[in-house]
A and B are shown apart, each in its own frame.
Chain A
Amino acid sequence: MARFLLKRLGFAILVVFCVQTAVFLITHALGNPARLLLPLSSTNAQVAAFSHAQGFDRPLIVQFFSTIAGAAHGDFGTSFWQQLPAVNLVVGRLPATGELVFFAMLVAIAGSVPLGILAAVKRDSVWDKLAVTVSLLGISMPAFWLGELLILIVAVQLGLTPTSGYGGPQYFVLPVITLAALPLGRLTQIVRSAMLDELGQQYVLVGRSLGLSTRSLIFQHALKNAAIPIVTLMGWELGRLIAGFTILVEVVFNWPGAGLLAVQAIQHHDIPLIEADVTIVATLIVALNLLLDVIYAALDPRVASLGSRRRARRKLQAIDGVPA
């Protein structure tokens, strides 16, 4: 178990390091950061002076190690745009993003589990059709468009909620719905097909012939077994939300989270802030994956081998339909 945890931890650190390297290469090697930061009209001499002042004229490898060393101490430098330490800016924005993600996941789970079960149990009924419609729409509707439509209809036409901004509960309604749409669609699909798989198993037939009630078959037996892929996918969806799907929702609703900050940093060509934001977001995702691994290992001792999560993911994809 300790060996397993150590291995996963090592991999997590490797991932964060790779993300850092990728961002560094993109911002420093692919283009000239000084050119990116200064106005287009600046002269070559100005660019050279600025490069020197910021240390952009040092060899790439030196810059790379100073960036990594700084990041390891939680120091990403000062934001060019806000003139504040980049880390503090990002960390200050995390709570707003966290709230959004938390409530969106709550809505997605509360909606998808009952709907998916109903759809699987009453195959080809109205519920099944509703589940298919919800999942298709959730997957196909771009978040920014859904957000704009909700603003147009609910906020502007009906005047029920504010159009954008951050504040009391009324401000949460539209962004949460918008963010929940995609995981809701995908989770509904997974709950449905996982339940269908379980209900087709022999043990359900045996249970039925032994006289178990339909209710207990569904909730105590089938759902319990279907829970493993469902819970895995919930963790996965959570990771995806953090990884980038909040960005659009935050931009559309002007929500003061880390995603909006990332876009603002990019628009201001603020390299330290971009690096800080991307690295911190990646660290969060990796930490989440690590946490999920630990939970799995605690739940099921067989999991404590390195390849098992990969195997579980492959199994999921078989259910999800994408051939793995």
Chain B
Amino acid sequence: MAVTTPLEIPSFPERPSFRRLPSMRGMLRGLAGNRFAMVASLFLLLLAVAAIFAPWVAPHDPNELHIIDRLTPPAWSAGGSTTYLLGTDELGRDILSRIIWGARTSVTIGLAVVAFSVVLGTTTGLLAGYLGGWVDTLLMRIVDIQFSFPALLISLAVVLVLGASATSVIIALCIDGWLVYCRLTRGMVMTLKHTTFIEAARVTGNTSRRVMIGHALPNILSPLITLATLEFARVVLAESTISFLGLGVQAPTVSWGLMLNNGEDYLTVAWWLITFPGLALTLTVLSANVVASWLRVVADPLQRAGSR
């Protein structure tokens, strides 16, 4: 077994990466050099455009029925029509339009959950890490316990009790979503607390709040953004999962998970019902993952040098 020498890989000791994100221009230049991340970012951009401009971009109303044209295959296969580029479902609704509107649901729920969780998690994490004491002990116990929770089952129970709707899904996903940010922030603040610049900030008479928000927070921003990107992927997936099980978003709101649920009954006759919404979902999650791992490398020059 011939092996190219694996010894060129430098190894770095475990170290916290307190690095600010590079400038916008630097990031764009880096993006141009990484084809993978480039494509992923473009896809996320496309997703955002579809979500924001859904009413104008979608060729049809997502709930408009065309019973005569029901189960029309995509335009390029036999029997397809260019009116419905990706075909129609069992009620004659246009798949492409439904995917575009589904993007709106996914992005809205994803951003809402991430925004709420980031704010709550970062605040509690800052407090726990900076002040320590019983708040810290309590929070870390919760985080440890949550690790053994059957999260999906709990979310499903919450949605059941609150009634199936987009709002319930957001609440259910927020309940345990903020804990990750709390743990991350707390860990980084604990390390930061003993650095010279934080001590200097404290010695020069800044209030605790000012030290936390003005000095500690900016230095943990880049890992937070990376985590938020990863979490966005997780939340989008979780929303589709709950909707797929029929307990989440309800018609007339369109969701990819709901489309996959409906399509399952027509698996043998219409492959396009499940293929395209699933593809949209997978590409979204994949893109967010790729962008997150790229962000991580960009924000950490040591990694950029080629440790991985």
Contact = CB atoms under 8 A, between A and B. Distances in A.
Interface of A: 11, 14-15, 18-19, 22-23, 26-27, 30-31, 36, 120-123, 136-137, 139-142, 144-145, 148-149, 151-152, 156, 163, 193, 196-197, 199-201, 204-205, 208, 214-215, 218, 239, 243-245, 247-248, 251-252, 262-263, 266-267, 269, 274, 277-278, 281-282, 285-286, 289, 310, 314-315, 318, 321-324
Contacts of B6: 120-121, 123, 196, 199-200, 204
Contacts, number: 168
Contact of A145 (B245, B268, B281): B281
Interface residues of B, number: 60
A143 B21 CA distance: 34
B286 A323 contact: no
A278 B157 contact: yes
Interface stretch (B11-19, B76-84, B130-138, B204-212): B11-19
B145 to A, nearest CB: 5
Contacts of B263: 148
Contacts of A205: 7
Contacts of B237: 142
B247 A266 contact: yes
Contact of B245 (A136, A148, A251): A251
B148 A289 contact: yes
Interface of B: 1, 3-4, 6-7, 9-11, 14, 16-17, 144-145, 148-154, 156-158, 160-162, 183-184, 187-188, 223, 226-227, 230, 233, 237, 240-241, 244-247, 260, 263-264, 267-268, 271, 274-275, 278, 281-282, 285-286, 289-290, 293, 296, 308
Contacts of A148: 260, 263-264, 267, 274, 278
Given A140-B282, A148-B267, A196-B308, A247 B230 contact: no
Nearest to A135: B289
B153 to A, nearest CB: 5
B184 A324 contact: yes
8 contacts: A30-B162, A140-B289, A200-B10, A201-B11, A205-B7, A239-B148, A266-B157, A281-B150
A142 B285 contact: yes
A114 to B, nearest CB: 13
A245 B184 CA distance: 24
